[in-house]
Structure 1
Amino acid sequence: MPPSLGRAGNGGVAVKLISSRCDLQHVPDSYVLPPESRPGKEEFVLCENIPVIDLERDRAENVRQVLKAGQEFGFFQLTNHGVSKTLMTDVLEVAEGFFELPIEDKASVYSEDPKRSCRLYTSIDYDKEKVHFWRDSLRHPCHPVDEHVQSWPEKPVRYRELAGKYSVEVRKLSMLLLELIGEGLGLEPGFFERDELNRVQLMALNCYPRCPNPSLTLGLPRHRDVNLITVLLQGPVLGLQVLEDGQWLALQPLPGAFVINIGLALQIISNGSLRSAEHRVMTNRTLARMTVTTFIHPSGDCMVEPAKGITKNHNPPLYRSFLYKDFLSTYIVDTYEGEPPLKRYTL
């Protein structure tokens, strides 16, 4: 038994993993948000203006569209991106298969230690937080694949094979998007190819089980991603909402498309030209929702600051320089306490 399970054993893990309690007829008190934080109404208002970008366009148009979407919304959906639809389907299916495993198998990778590289968990700090969110997540590093694959789950049997292939393809796409963004911002060629800027790639499998009362809880609270860029693969179930002009708008999943999200680190590098938008995840009364999310991060020792090629006399830096690992630490604290994560870094 992993040390992180302590005396609770598999039974304790089963209680903490919401995906193992799919027969619940009501929302447990520990998942009920305070009245002011509850989503309330269950119906979704669909977003009509989040861009859908077709990467089969010519490069100049792709640069223009990606930059415009990053500046105006911070989110966009991406089609004809070069990643096999079969591979995307297979990865979602193997992710679903992981969360359907017996509790004994899931317990082998469950951990409440945030320093463990590959771990299944339901909350950042389950025992200390006042309210839990309606999600379980399996998260692990995946670049380079050869350095990390042995720490990944052995079940389902094709997990390592499919997750490895998928992470390589999504990394290629992520680097292409960063290349287009760099070109649009007027940065020198290869700006985002520097190892310290893109070294860390994390994959997260997220399970949002069906919820008996979605008006009381959330899969994830409102937040902005801390990293450079996020690539989201989602099934057909609605859940992701973006805050736009004070209203929560749902992104309608498009078959075969990725959702791309600008992170705070990229907002800083762009000196505020690009926007990291607030978003959250709703639950569903009748259907479970599965997502596979890929995060591209700088290394911990990377100095993050507005790019020198952007800041000029007429465009002075909006943010001070800092080590990314320091930003990660303050981001967790500020997000938990409801403070703006960039407040202490803004000049």
Structure 2
Amino acid sequence: MSLLIDHSSTSNSVLLCPPISSKVNFQKVDESGVLIFDTAKLQNHLPNEFIWPSGDLVNSDNTTQQELNEPLIDLGGVLRSDEEAIATAAQLVRTACLKHGFFQVTNHGIDPDLVREAYDEIDTIFDLPMDKKLSLRRKPGDVVGYDANHSNPLSFVDYFKSVVGQEFEHTGRVYQRYCEAMKELSLVIMELLAISLGVDRMHYREFFNDQRSIMRCNLYPPCISSGLTLGTGPHCDPTSLTILHQDQVGGLEVFADNKWQAVRPRHDAFVINLGDTFMALSNGKYKSCLHRALVNEDKERRSLVFFVSPKEDKIVRPPQDMFARKEPRKYPDFTWSDLLEFTQNHYRADVATLENFTPWLLSSKPSNF
């Protein structure tokens, strides 16, 4: 399980971006392109380097006031093993995943106090002095800043105490508990996904029981030119499943029906969306959809994100139940580490990731087949 305290394209003070040519005072830190940037300057001036190019998929002017009509799924009956409630939930999951891969879940069993504590610890991390944050940042090209041992429940605590400081023991305990809760929720969702696809209901739960997970804490400061920039640009998740809790500021948008649609924040719900790896596991039946995060002109925005992927060496292929129906395979077998290498080093994840990944995989690793 991994914990990543991340800095997005306009978030906080450490930015990964090209050298700045603006007259605003920036300071280059090292040759990797990591810059120290005073976010207070976003209230007065937005450097040209942070203005996204115009275009249907990136220009904020393409935003509508329309909200995504994603299902709101009550997991209360599912967690009580009520078969009627499970069937209803699975049908709602199927409807969403055939169209855009987004839905929200309520009565999910996650303690709201734990969610609140996880948000509190975001402030603890992002309020650290600049020199401390620079010492903890990801190295260029790395996906995670911290890789913990699944079998050691104190590994989060040990990391925060040894790397961030003794006073961060509580932070480690909070995120350890949060990630354990997210893993349990992810396995419930995996079972519903299997039922919705008509395959062995335990198939995905068992496949992801030893999952590879990443937790990301995001903070987006307000920006006076919020209509010209994005907190996170348009992308699809290359992972399998994303569990997001967004604060009440909002900003998450999904590109569906040829327009950007907002996902309404709900304090008692988690947003669930599929990634490319699960699209492959469903043989392309379910969608990994383009989405983005907008910054707000007046308010700071925070979110908690938990990404679920298979263990790196597991073979990603649809369940045998699908092959029995004589369905043609849409994608070759691959491992999560293969797709991770492709999206981190060769390709920014978008709506065509798997189509572009397949020829790369076949040409670079022919021995796999």
In the superposition, the TM-score normalised over structure 2's length comes to 0.77
With 181-190 and 81-90 compared, the bigger mean Cα shift is at 181-190
1:151 aligned onto 2:162: no
1:56 Cα deviation after fit: 1.8
CA deviations over 1:218-244 (Å, ceiling 9, x no partner)? 111111111111100111112110001
Q: 1:12 aligns with which of 16, 22, 29?
A: 29
2-structure distance, mates of 1:187, 1:306: 10
Q: 1:31 aligns with which of 43, 50, 58?
A: 50
Contact 2:53–2:59 (8 Å) recurs in 1: no
Q: 2:250 aligns with which of 238, 241, 244?
A: 238
Matched with 1:163 is 175
Over the aligned positions, Cα root-mean-square deviation in angstroms equals 2.8
C-alpha distance 292-43 of structure 1, shift in aligned 2 (>3 A) = same
Q: 1:278 aligns with which of 279, 290, 296?
A: 290
1:144 Cα deviation after fit: 4.7
With 236-245 and 30-39 compared, the bigger mean Cα shift is at 30-39
2-structure distance, mates of 1:161, 1:271: 38
1:310 Cα deviation after fit: 1.3
Contact 2:75–2:105 (8 Å) recurs in 1: yes
Q: Secondary structure at the match of 1:35?
A: coil
C-alpha distance 100-42 of structure 1, shift in aligned 2 (>3 A) = farther
Contact 2:245–2:305 (8 Å) recurs in 1: yes
1:64 Cα deviation after fit: 1.9
1:47 aligned onto 2:67: yes
C-alpha distance 329-30 of structure 1, shift in aligned 2 (>3 A) = same
Matched with 1:6 is none
2-structure distance, mates of 1:42, 1:98: 34
Q: Secondary structure at the match of 1:226?
A: coil
Q: 1:175 aligns with which of 164, 180, 187?
A: 187
2-structure distance, mates of 1:184, 1:67: 5
CA deviations over 1:264-293 (Å, ceiling 9, x no partner)? 111111112211111011111111111110
In the superposition, the TM-score normalised over structure 1's length comes to 0.81
C-alpha distance 40-187 of structure 1, shift in aligned 2 (>3 A) = closer
Matched with 2:115 is 88
Contact 2:28–2:36 (8 Å) recurs in 1: no
1:224 aligned onto 2:236: yes
C-alpha distance 162-75 of structure 1, shift in aligned 2 (>3 A) = same
C-alpha distance 110-337 of structure 1, shift in aligned 2 (>3 A) = closer
Q: 1:74 aligns with which of 89, 101, 104?
A: 101
CA deviations over 1:26-60 (Å, ceiling 9, x no partner)? 11222122233752439652314111111124222
With 280-289 and 324-333 compared, the bigger mean Cα shift is at 324-333
Q: 1:249 aligns with which of 252, 261, 272?
A: 261
Identity %: 26
2-structure distance, mates of 1:266, 1:108: 35
Contact 2:331–2:358 (8 Å) recurs in 1: yes
Unpaired segments of 5 or more residues in structure 2? 1-26, 78-84, 360-369
1:288 aligned onto 2:315: no
Counterparts of 1:304-319 in structure 2, within 5 Å, are 304-319=316-331
Contact 1:141–1:200 (8 Å) recurs in 2: no
Contact 2:90–2:196 (8 Å) recurs in 1: yes
1-structure distance, mates of 2:357, 2:142: 25
2-structure distance, mates of 1:314, 1:38: 39
C-alpha distance 32-49 of structure 1, shift in aligned 2 (>3 A) = same
1:331 aligned onto 2:343: yes
With 107-116 and 204-213 compared, the bigger mean Cα shift is at 107-116
Amino acid at match of 1:67: R
2-structure distance, mates of 1:166, 1:306: 30
1-structure distance, mates of 2:286, 2:62: 31
Unpaired segments of 5 or more residues in structure 1? 1-9, 120-139
Amino acid at match of 1:180: L
Contact 1:219–1:283 (8 Å) recurs in 2: yes
Q: 2:130 aligns with which of 94, 103, 111?
A: 103
